[in-house]
Amino acid sequence: MKITKDFEDDHIIEQMKMREIIEGAEKGELDLDLMDELENHLKNHMFQEEEYIFPAMNKVQNLRLEIAGFQTEHAALWRLFSMIHSDLEKGKHDKIQKYLTEIYKILVEHNSREEIFVYKMMNDDSMPVMEMVRPEGWVCKKIRETQAIH
C-alpha cells in the first residue's frame, strides 16, 4: 500500500518540520522559509485528501462525520497560518508562538485519527490518480463554504 505509506510519511515529516519551526521560534528565530515550505506542503496534502482520498474512501465506507471533522481541522490549520501571516505583516509577534503550538497540536491529533479512520482502509487499486499540487486559488472545503456565506 504505497499511497498509505506516502501519506503517513508526510505526516511524520510535517510534524518534524513543525517542531523545528517551534523550537526556532522559542529561540527567537522564526524560519519563514521552512514555515512557508511546510504551509505549502500541508495545503497540497489537504488538496489531495479533500479532492481525491476523502471522496474515494467515502464510497468504500461511510466516513461522512469523520471526514467533516477532518475538513474542519483543515480549515483551522488554514486560518492559523493566515493569522500568522497577518500578524507578521502588522509586525505583531506576540501570538505567533501560540499559533504555531496550536497548529502542532491540531496536526498531531488530526494525523493520528486520519491514519486510523482513513489510511488504514485505503487501497492503492481504489484510489484515483491524484494531482500532486493544488491548483492556483484552491482553498479547503470549509474555507470555501465560509467564503460563500459572506
| pLDDT over 90 (residue 1) | no
| pLDDT over 70 (residue 126) | no
Q: And the C-alpha cell for 142? A: 470549509
Percent of the chain with pLDDT over 70: 94
Question: How far apart, in whole angstroms, are the C-alpha atoms of residue 25 and residue 114?
Answer: 28
| pLDDT over 70 (residue 113) | yes
pLDDT at 48: 93
| pLDDT over 60 (residue 9) | yes
Mean pLDDT, the chain, whole residue set: 91
pLDDT band per the 50, 70, 90 thresholds, residue 86: very high
| pLDDT over 70 (residue 51) | yes
pTM of the model: 0.91
| pLDDT over 80 (residue 124) | no
pLDDT at 149: 66
Can you give the three-state secondary structure of the chain, one letter per residue?
A: CHHHHHHHHHHHHHHHHHHHHHHHHHCCCCCHHHHHHHHHHHHHHHHHHHHHHHHHHHHHCCCHHHHHHHHHHHHHHHHHHHHHHHHHHHCCCCCHHHHHHHHHHHHHHHHHHHHHHCHHHCCHHHCCCCCCCCCCCCCCHHHHHHHHHC
